[in-house]
Amino acid sequence: MPKAPSSEQARRLLLLIGLLQPQTEIPLADLAGALGVSVPQVTADLELLSMCGVAPYSPGDLVPLYIEGDTVFVYGAMPALDRRVRLSPAEAQALAAALQAAGRTADDPLVSRLLDAASDADPHDIERVIRTAAATDPGNHATLSLAAGQHEAVRIRYQTGGTEKVTERVIEPLALLNERGTWYVEAYCRMAGAVRTFRVDRVRDAEPTGEHFEARTVILPGTALPTAGLPRALVRFEAGVEVPEREWPGMRVISEEPSGTVVEVPYAGTGWISRQVASFLGAAEVLEPAEVRRAVAELAASER
């Protein structure tokens, strides 16, 4: 029997759960007909389903069925269907990013239910993901996403981070990526003559040019802002200071106390991170490493 795509098999398994009512005997041929597959296929699906369940995966936590001859016997209720949904931190973060992209805010009822279902996830982290990209224009996002799929060049007006300077350029969108709730577009920038990463919320206008481009052979990093292998700095913000999640790529909150917030920030050079810390005028302090502390001190001294 040829191996079916995993997505199709998952769909059938979910349908089967709905068809397998407790304390029933169902001919295999009936289930096969309901799913539009062969009897051997539905038999294989049921055998797989019989090994599924919920933690701790004791016999009472598995799907209660067995096959005898041409009939499947369901001798109990499906496990977990009457239990609260629990999400892992990774699942909760992914759903939070999806809700943010759909325009949900941190006080939306759906977000509250997500926080309630996140078993081990930090609620502050999830709220932070949803909160960070509220400024993204859905029209620009849709234009760039469609252009990436159709290989169509787009003319954009883009505001450079930390300045009011807006430049007009033509880009060839390659892919949209979401990093900690903020959307980015990887694109070949004709003005720069190279692949660049643009934050979608800084795109002031996005207009399709009608010009289609040949797909380029480029290796995308798989993340909007690759930080693997970069050194990390620990920075403490005073209480009441808004932590700049949108401006500090790859930042991770280490602790939040009444006295302030400590974050971990990857950095490629001391010049960038020292300017970022110094811009808080004493409300942010580098705890380590020493090279970044020195860079901040030198920058502060030079501006006196």
Nearest to 205 by CA among 159, 164, 151: 159
Whether pLDDT at 133 is above 50: no
* Farthest CA pair distance, the chain: 87
Whether pLDDT at 42 is above 70: yes
Whether pLDDT at 231 is above 60: yes
Neighbour count for residue 277 (Cβ, 10 Å)? 25
- In this prediction, residue 112 carries a pLDDT of 66
Given pLDDT bands bounded at 50, 70 and 90, which one contains residue 156?
A: very high
- In this prediction, residue 1 carries a pLDDT of 45
Q: Each residue of 46-60: pLDDT tens digit? A: 998 888 877 676 777
Identity of the amino acid at 293: R
Cα–Cα separations (whole angstroms), residue 27 to 11, 31, 100? 20, 7, 45
Identity of the amino acid at 124: H
Neighbour count for residue 204 (Cβ, 10 Å)? 14
What is the value of pTM for the model shown?
A: 0.42
- In this prediction, residue 134 carries a pLDDT of 45
Q: What is the DSSP letter of 180?
A: T
**Distance in angstroms (rounded) separating the CA atoms of residues 109 and 190:** 43
Whether pLDDT at 62 is above 70: yes
